[in-house]
Amino acid sequence: MSIDTDRFRAELEQHRERLRSTIAHHDIGNSSLTEETGELMSSSSDNHLADTASETYEREFDEGLEEDAQEQLRQVDAALQRIEAGTYGACSVCGKQIPVERLEAVPWTTMCIDDARKLAR
């Protein structure tokens, strides 16, 4: 294994926190997610109340972000699980090692660029 998984784990965890705060900020009605982020939400509820005005603006501003954030959170979680399982960095389609440059660009990717392109077609 030539991949520095510690580095990617740190990056993924950071990204996960960002996604969770995005999702929590949008206050969506998904109870399973609320459970997961309950800790985070209660700890940030103090300053949450203070900026109601800007929140309204932001809510309109990134309406479409909500689903994307949830989907990406799932992918980030899955990537972290792959790190734990020791399978991180292997393409889920062809099984080859995903180039580190690609992992740096998209740490939660499950596919090498060739298979990702095939799928996008």
Asked if residue 115 binds Zn ion (CB under 5 A), the reply is: yes
Asked if residue 117 binds Zn ion (CB under 5 A), the reply is: no
Q: How far is the CB of 111 from Zn ion (least distance, A)?
A: 5
Write out 32-82 in H/E/C secondary structure. Answer: HHHHHHHHHHHHCHHHHHHCHHHHHHHHHHCCCHHHHHHHHHHHHHHHHHH
Asked if residue 65 binds Zn ion (CB under 5 A), the reply is: no
Q: How far is the CB of 65 from Zn ion (least distance, A)?
A: 29
- For 11, 53, 98, 104, the CA distances from 101, given in Å and listed in that order, are 14, 41, 8, 5
Q: How far is CA 78 from the centre of its chain?
A: 9
Q: Which of residues 71-110 bind Zn ion (CB under 5 A)?
A: 91, 93-94
CB 70 within 8 A of CB 33: yes
Q: Which of 79, 80, 90, 112 binds Zn ion (CB under 5 A)?
A: 112
Of 10 and 94, which CB lies nearer to Zn ion in the complex structure? 94
Query: Of 11-19, 45-53, 63-71, 113-121, which segment contacts Zn ion by CB under 5 A?
Result: 113-121
State the residues that interact with Zn ion by CB under 5 A.
91, 93-94, 112, 115
